[in-house]
Amino acid sequence: EVQVVESGGGLVQPGGSLRLSCAASGFSFSTCWMTWVRQAPGKGLEWVGNINQDGSDTNYVDSVKGRFIISRDNGKNSVFLQMNSLTAEDTAVYYCVRDFRYFDCWGQGTLVTVSS
């Protein structure tokens, strides 16, 4: 079964950092782009960024550039989202997604709450 499972969410203070992980299984992970999408409470979907197959290329939405870093470990079939300098506006459910330009496999998401 093709699946991705996110972990690492939680409560963090403004200005703090958090690292999300996404474990993939059931497909050839090293051949796929991977994406992070977030959804603030009661709001729509926002693409956060993506990473290519070998980790040499990443792209980010402007609102997270310089604060968030996406990386991957193909040996562990995992992708990561390092989030720094967090603000209340980063509060959201973060989804890990397999990216073929279309997003065909989504995790259940992990909730990140930025609050003092």
Partner 1 sequence: DIVMTQTPLSLSVTPGQPASISCKSSQSLLERDGKTYLYWYLQKPGQPPHLLIYEVSNRFSGVPDRFSGSGSGTDFTLKISRVEAEDVGVYYCKQSTQHPKTFGQGTKLEIK
Q: Is the dihedral of CA 36, 39, 44, 46 positive or negative?
A: negative
Cβ–Cβ under 8 Å, residues 114 and 16? yes
Binding region for partner 1 (CB under 8 A) out of 7-15, 23-31, 67-75, 103-111 = 103-111
Closer CB to partner 1, residue 49 or residue 114? 49
Q: Please identify which residue in 55, 69, 103, 113 interacts with partner 1, judged by CB under 8 A.
A: 103
Distance of CA 47 to the CA centre of its chain: 9
Our finding on whether 104 is near partner 1 (CB under 8 A) is: yes
The Cα 94–Cα 101 span in angstroms is 18
* Binds partner 1 (CB under 8 A): choice among 11, 61, 85, 89: 61
Report, in Å, the least distance between residue 41 CB and partner 1: 13
Residue numbers at the binding site for partner 1 (CB under 8 A): 35, 44-47, 49-50, 59-62, 95, 101-104, 106-109
